[in-house]
Amino acid sequence: MDAVISNTDDLHTIFSTRGLTKIYQMGEVQVKALRGIDLELYSGELVVMLGPSGSGKSTLLNILGGLDTATDGSVTYHDIDLTSAGDRDLTEYRRFNVGFVFQFYNLIPSLTARENVAIVTEIAKNPMDPAEALAMVELADRMDHFPAQLSGGEQQRVAIARAIAKNPEVLLCDEPTGALDSKTGIVVLEALERVNKTLGTCTVLITHNVVIAGMADRVIRILDGKIAEVQKVEKKISPGELEW
């Protein structure tokens, strides 16, 4: 199934993949995580990628973010061919263009919330002030706390602040609410939506939770390493209206 929208007059393509394939070696087992994905992502949109565990959505996200390399096929970011990029080029690509939010936050335990954001802004070209990024996720009053002193939801919001503080063009979120209860999850989703609207960042959100798809511009379903369906959401709902 193709995730390319034919009428591209109003949309600016950021990512384009063709025949993207990824095979992993896990111990003694070979795992075909992606089996030839063709996809385009556009600036400013909020895309939700749905799929069960093991469907390949995280793998796709990692390759888009330059965290992993493809076995076959191609990925371009604007005019940059990411599949042939070396480690140095991918590092630079992530440094200036991509923000990540992970399921288990991956904060540096020895840094405060503000410092966890600063560690990224200090190497970015045109970053926000860390305090400003934390204010966007409503954590202005918890800036000097360590991760161990924050709840799961707060930690995830710090991670979002860290991801957006560099003013990235792309925000990639891998199961951002997976480790949170629904109420906290909604708070996190609201933060993501706010960021998407305010900064115009292309936001890709991976989840196995179908309900979250309601807040997306497009929903891409992935199954067994292939795109099963691409759906434009006619009527988006706000995260506050989601229930699970």
Partner 1 sequence: MKAINWKMVRDLDNMRAMVFVIAIMIISGVATFVTLLSTLDSLRSTQRAYYQEYFFSNIFASLKRAPGSVISRIREIPGVNRVSARIWAGANISLSGFDETIRGLVISLPDEGEPLLNRLYLRRGRRPTPYSSDEIIVGDAFAQAHKLQIGSLMTAVINGREKELKVVGIGLSPEFIYQANPGSIIPDFERYAILWMGKTALEAAYDMQGAFNNVTVSLTYQANEAEVIRRLDEILEPYGGLGARGRVDQPSHFYITEELKQLGQMATIIPTIFLAVAAFLLNVVIGRLIQTQQGQIAILKAFGYDNIEIGWHYIKMVSVIVIIGLAGGVFLGMYLGKLLAGVYAEFYRFPFLQYRLDPGVFLAAATVSFGAASAGVLFAVRRAVLLPPAQGMLAESPKIFKQNWVEKIGLAGFLDQPTKMILRQLSRHRLKTIFGIVGIAFAASLVMLGRISEDSISYAVDVEFRQAQPYDLSVSFEDATSSHALTELKRIRGVYYAEAYRTIPVRMRFGHRNYLTSIQAYPKKRVLKPLLDSNQREVQIPGYGVLLTRKLGDILGVKTGDTLRVEVLEQSRRVMNLPVAGFMNQYFGLSGYMSLEELNRVLPEKELISGAYMNIDQRQEKQITQELKKSPKVAEILSTQSIIAKFYESTAQTWLIMAFFVSLFAAATAFSVVYNNARISLSERNRELASLRVLGFTRGEISYILLGELWIVVLLAIPVGMLFGWLITAFMIWSLQTDLYRIPMNITSFTYSLAAITVIISTLLSTVILRRRLNKLDLIGVLKTRE
| Minimum distance, C-beta of residue 117 to partner 1, in the bound complex (Å) | 8
Task: Please state the closest distance from residue 168 (CB atom) to partner 1, in A.
Answer: 10
Minimum distance from residue 122 beta carbon to partner 1 (Å): 5
The single-letter DSSP state of residue 3 is: B
Q: For residues 28 and 79, which CB has a smaller minimum distance to partner 1 in the complex?
A: 28
DSSP letters along 172-212, please? EEESTTTTS-HHHHHHHHHHHHHHHHHH--EEEEEES-GGG
User: Applying CB under 8 A, which residues contact partner 1?
Assistant: 26-28, 62, 65, 67-69, 87-88, 91-92, 94-96, 98, 100, 102-104, 106, 108, 110-111, 115-116, 118-120, 122-124, 162
Compare residues 68 and 224 and give the one whose CB is closer to partner 1. Answer: 68
Q: Which is nearer to partner 1, 1 or 111 (CB)?
A: 111
Between 10 and 87, name the residue whose CB sits nearer to partner 1: 87
Pick the closer one to partner 1 by CB: 28 or 141: 28
Least Å distance between CB 154 and partner 1?
15
State the minimum distance, in angstroms, from the CB of residue 229 to partner 1. 25
HEC per residue, 11-71? CCEEEEEEEEEEEEEECCEEEEEEEEEEEEEECCCEEEEECCCCCCHHHHHHHHCCCCCCC
Closest Cα to residue 160, out of 125, 123, 201, 124? Answer: 201
Q: How far is the CB of 1 from partner 1 (least distance, A)?
A: 25
Cα separation, 171 vs 113, in Å, equals 19
Kindly report the CA angle at 144 between 140 and 145, in degrees rounded to 5? 105
Residues 40 and 3: their CA atoms lie apart, in Å, by 6
Residue 118 or 189 with smaller CB distance to partner 1: 118
CA-angle at 77, arms to 220 and 225, nearest 5°: 35
